Amino acid sequence: MGFMWSLDLSLQLLFLYSLFSLTVTNCVPFIQPMPCHEDDSHALLQFKEGFVISKLASENPLSYPKVASWNASTDCCSSWDGIQCDEHTGHVIGIDLSSSQLYGYLDSNSSLFNLAQLQILDLADNDFNYSQIPSRIGEFSKLTHLNLSLTSFSGEVPQEVSHLSKLLSLDLRCYMGFYSEDQINLLQIKNSTLRSLIQNSTSLETLRLNFVTIASPVPDVLTNLTSLQYLSLFHCELYGEFPDEIFHLPNLRIIDLGNNQNLRGKFPDFHSGALISALRLAGTSFYGTLPASIGKLSSLKRLSISNCQFSGSIPSSLGNLTQLTYLDLGFNEFTTKTISWICKLSQINYLGLGFINIGSDIPSCFVNLTQLSQLYLAHTNLTGAVPSWIMNLTNFANLRLDGNNLRGEIPTSIFKLENLEFLDLGSNLLQGKLELDKFLNLHNLYFLSLSDNQLSLIAGNKSFNATLSPIEYLGLAACNLVEFPIFFGALGQLTYLYMPRNSVNSIPSWMWRKISLEGLIISDNSLTGKISPLICNLKYLVNLDLSFNKLSGTIPSCLGSFSQSLQSLELQENHLSGLIPQTYMTGSALKMIDLSYNNMRGQLPRALLNCTMLEYLSVGYNKINDSFPFWLGALPGLKVIALSNNQLHGPIGCPKACSFSKLHIIDLSHNKLSGSLPSQMILNWESMKASNMSQLQYEQNWAFQHFGNENWYTNYSYSYTMVNKGVARNYLNLQKNYNLIGIDLSSNRISREIPDVVGDLKGLVLLNLSNNMFTGNIPSSLGKLSNLEVLDLSLNSLSGTIPQQLTELTFLEFINVSFNNLSGRIPENKQFSTFQDNSFEGNQGLCGTQLLKKCENHVAPPSASNGEEDSGSLFEFDWKIVLIGYGGGLVAGVALGSSYAPQVLRWLKKFF
**Is 392 in a helix, a strand, or coil?**
helix
What tens digit of pLDDT does each residue of 691-722 get? 655 556 665 544 444 444 444 445 567 777 76
Average pLDDT, stretch 786-809?
95
255 strand-pairing partners: 231, 279
Q: Is the pLDDT of residue 5 over 90?
A: no
Percentage of the residues of the chain whose pLDDT score is greater than 70: 84
Q: Is the pLDDT of residue 22 over 50?
A: no
Amino acid of residue 215: A
Helix (H) / strand (E) containing 63: none
Q: Is the pLDDT of residue 876 over 60?
A: no
Mean of the per-residue pLDDT values for the chain?
87
Q: How far apart are CA 802 and CA 164, in angstroms?
A: 70
Helix (H) / strand (E) containing 906: helix 902-911
Q: How far apart are CA 34 and CA 578, in angstroms?
A: 83
Amino acid of residue 83: I
> Count of CB atoms within 10 A of residue 200's CB?
15
What tens digit of pLDDT does each residue of 390-419 get? 888 888 999 999 999 999 999 988 998 999
Average pLDDT, stretch 426-450?
93
Average pLDDT, stretch 621-625?
97
How high is the pLDDT of residue 587? 87
Q: How far apart are CA 239 and CA 265, in angstroms?
A: 10
Topology given in CATH for the domain delimited by 615-911:
3.80.10
Highest-scoring range by mean pLDDT, 21-35, 216-230, 434-448, 692-706: 216-230
**Is 316 in a helix, a strand, or coil?**
helix
Backbone phi, then psi, for 898, in 5-degree steps? -100, -15
Dihedral, 14, 17, 22, 27 alpha carbons, nearest 10: -160
- Quick one: which of 641, 646, 628 has its CA closest to 592? 641
What tens digit of pLDDT does each residue of 492-515 get? 999 999 999 999 999 999 999 999
Name the pairing type of β-strands 649-651 and 285-288.
unpaired
Name the pairing type of β-strands 550-554 and 398-400.
unpaired
Range of weakest confidence among 122-126, 197-201, 701-705, 801-805: 701-705
Name the pairing type of β-strands 212-213 and 814-816.
unpaired
Q: Is the pLDDT of residue 136 over 50?
A: yes
**Is 840 in a helix, a strand, or coil?**
coil
The DSSP symbol for 835 reads S
Q: Is the pLDDT of residue 903 over 70?
A: no
Q: How far apart are CA 810 and CA 726, in angstroms?
A: 17
How high is the pLDDT of residue 698? 60
Q: How far apart are CA 649 and CA 503, in angstroms?
A: 40
Average pLDDT, stretch 604-622?
95
Q: How far apart are CA 684 and CA 664, in angstroms?
A: 12
Contact 537, 514 (CB under 8 A): no
How high is the pLDDT of residue 867? 38
- The three-point CA angle 385-388-392 to 5° equals 140
How high is the pLDDT of residue 892? 33
Its sign, for the CA torsion 269, 275, 277, 281, is negative
Q: Is the pLDDT of residue 735 over 70?
A: no
Q: Is the pLDDT of residue 534 over 70?
A: yes
Q: How far apart are CA 66 and CA 253, in angstroms?
A: 32
How high is the pLDDT of residue 679? 93
Name the pairing type of β-strands 155-156 and 169-171.
unpaired
Q: Is the pLDDT of residue 866 over 60?
A: no
Domain residue ranges in the chain = 615-911
Q: How far apart are CA 888 and CA 897, in angstroms?
A: 8
Helix (H) / strand (E) containing 197: helix 191-200
Written in H, E and C, the secondary structure of 203-249 is CCCEEECCCEECCCCCCHHHHHCCCCCEEECCCCCCEEECCHHHHHC
Give the up-direction half-sphere exposure of residue 120: CA atoms within 13 A in the CB hemisphere: 22
Helix (H) / strand (E) containing 365: none
Alpha-carbon distances, residue 694 vs 181, 687, 691, 698, 738 (angstroms): 16, 11, 9, 9, 9
Q: How far apart are CA 391 and CA 33, in angstroms?
A: 60
Percentage of the residues of the chain whose pLDDT score is greater than 90: 73
> Count of CB atoms within 10 A of residue 479's CB?
21
DSSP one-letter string for 514-568: -TT--EEE--SS--EEEPPGGGGG-TT-SEEE--SSEEEEEPPGGGGTS-SS--E
Range of weakest confidence among 85-99, 304-318, 463-477, 485-499: 463-477
Write b or e for each residue in 286-304: b if 16 or more Cβ atoms lie within 10 A of its Cβ, otherwise e: beeebbebbbbbeebbbbb
Average pLDDT, stretch 23-52?
79
- Quick one: which of 552, 503, 560 has its CA closest to 532? 552
Average pLDDT, stretch 561-573?
93
- Quick one: which of 178, 124, 170 has its CA closest to 151? 124
Q: Is the pLDDT of residue 724 over 80?
A: no
How high is the pLDDT of residue 715? 57
Q: How far apart are CA 427 and CA 405, in angstroms?
A: 8
Helix (H) / strand (E) containing 94: strand 92-96
What tens digit of pLDDT does each residue of 315-366 get? 999 999 999 999 999 999 998 888 999 999 999 999 999 999 998 888 889 9
The DSSP symbol for 41 reads H
How high is the pLDDT of residue 359? 84
Write b or e for each residue in 881-902: b if 16 or more Cβ atoms lie within 10 A of its Cβ, otherwise e: eebeebbbbbbbbbbbbbebee
How high is the pLDDT of residue 737? 64
- pLDDT-derived band at 641 (thresholds 50, 70, 90) equals very high
- pLDDT-derived band at 901 (thresholds 50, 70, 90) equals very low
Average pLDDT, stretch 238-242?
97
What tens digit of pLDDT does each residue of 836-865 get? 999 999 999 999 988 889 898 654 444 333
Contact 372, 348 (CB under 8 A): yes
- The three-point CA angle 125-131-134 to 5° equals 95
Largest pairwise CA distance in the chain: 121
How high is the pLDDT of residue 486? 87
Helix (H) / strand (E) containing 641: strand 640-642
How high is the pLDDT of residue 545? 96
How high is the pLDDT of residue 18? 46
How high is the pLDDT of residue 101? 97
Name the E strands within 3-90. 52-53, 83-85
